[in-house]
């Protein structure tokens, strides 16, 4: 594996230096393996499941499809920046309260995608929620409780 030049980016509001990233490493891999942020999951690794979702300069992306070195100077928001187990953010709380977390593997990507949705459309319809989450696969919940959680959270903000 060839090493790239060191580069910096901001992750969850903190400046981080990536000293040695494998040539061609994805942002998802660098977040997990170089920056010790395992909250961002890798499922398919090919941009199809959404579990690796992050915000890159406030744009929702599948971090497994982003070349990490291309994010130099960018601002990345991961699920870890949106709340923790001891201090959950509003989306995480809403998902838990709705019983929308089972195995939890899809949850980090759902949290980021829902955060993105509510920032763009604070009062989404069910159709808009389903469309916004259409790139996030969940094997467990059947989506009903996830969608209910989003709609309930939006109601809190109404
Ligand atoms: S791991 Fe990135 S979209 Fe599936
Ligand atoms: S809760 Fe298991 S994949 Fe969604």
pLDDT one-digit tens code per residue, 74-98: 999 999 999 998 999 999 999 999 9
pLDDT at residue 157, as a whole number? 87
Report how far Cα 98 is from the mean position of its chain's Cα atoms.
Answer: 19
Distance 7 CA to ligand 1 centre (A): 24
Does ligand 1 lie within 6 Å of residue 47's CB atom?
A: yes
Does ligand 2 lie within 6 Å of residue 102's CB atom?
A: yes
What share of the chain in percent tops pLDDT 70? Answer: 95
Ligand nearest to the CA of 63: 1
Q: How far apart are CA 54 and CA 78, in angstroms?
A: 5
What's the Cα-to-Cα distance from 47 to each of 101, 119, 141, 157, rounded to whole Å? 22, 22, 21, 31
Does ligand 1 lie within 6 Å of residue 45's CB atom?
A: yes
What's the Cα-to-Cα distance from 103 to each of 14, 69, 91, 135, 140, rounded to whole Å? 29, 32, 17, 18, 7
Comparing CA positions, the residue from 81, 61, 67 lying closest to residue 136 is 61
Which ligand 1 atom lies nearest to the CA of residue 41?
A: 1
Residue 100 has pLDDT above 90, yes or no: yes
Residue 1 has pLDDT above 50, yes or no: no
Grade residue 3 by pLDDT with cuts at 50, 70 and 90: low
- Structure-token pair, residue 62: 């599948």
* 42, 135, 139: residue to mutate for ligand 1 pocket, most atoms within 8 A of CB: 42
Q: How many residues does the chain have?
A: 158
Contact 82, 115 (CB under 8 A): yes
Residues 6+ apart with CB under 8 A from 6: 17, 18, 19, 20
Which ligand 2 atom lies nearest to the CA of residue 102?
A: 1
| Distant-in-sequence contacts of 125-134, Cβ < 8 A, 24+ apart | 126/151, 133/50
- Of all protein residues, the one whose alpha carbon is nearest to atom 2 of ligand 2 is 103
């Amino acid at each position: 594996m060839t090493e790239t030049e060191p580069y910096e980016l901001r992750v969850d509001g903190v400046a981080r230096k990536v000293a040695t990233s494998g040539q061609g490493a994805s942002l998802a891999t660098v977040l997990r393996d170089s920056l010790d942020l395992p909250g961002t999951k890798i499922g398919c690794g090919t941009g199809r499941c959404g579990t690796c979702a992050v915000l890159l300069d406030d744009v929702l992306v599948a971090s497994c499809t982003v070349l990490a070195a291309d994010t130099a100077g960018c601002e990345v928001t991961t699920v870890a920046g949106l709340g923790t187990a001891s201090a959950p953010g509003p989306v995480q709380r809403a998902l838990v309260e709705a019983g929308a977390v089972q195995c939890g593997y899809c949850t980090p990507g759902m949290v980021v995608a829902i955060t993105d949705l509510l920032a763009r459309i604070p009062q989404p319809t069910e159709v808009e929620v389903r469309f916004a989450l259409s790139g996030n696969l969940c094997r467990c919940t059947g989506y009903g409780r996830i969608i209910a959680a989003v709609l309930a959270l939006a109601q809190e903000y109404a």
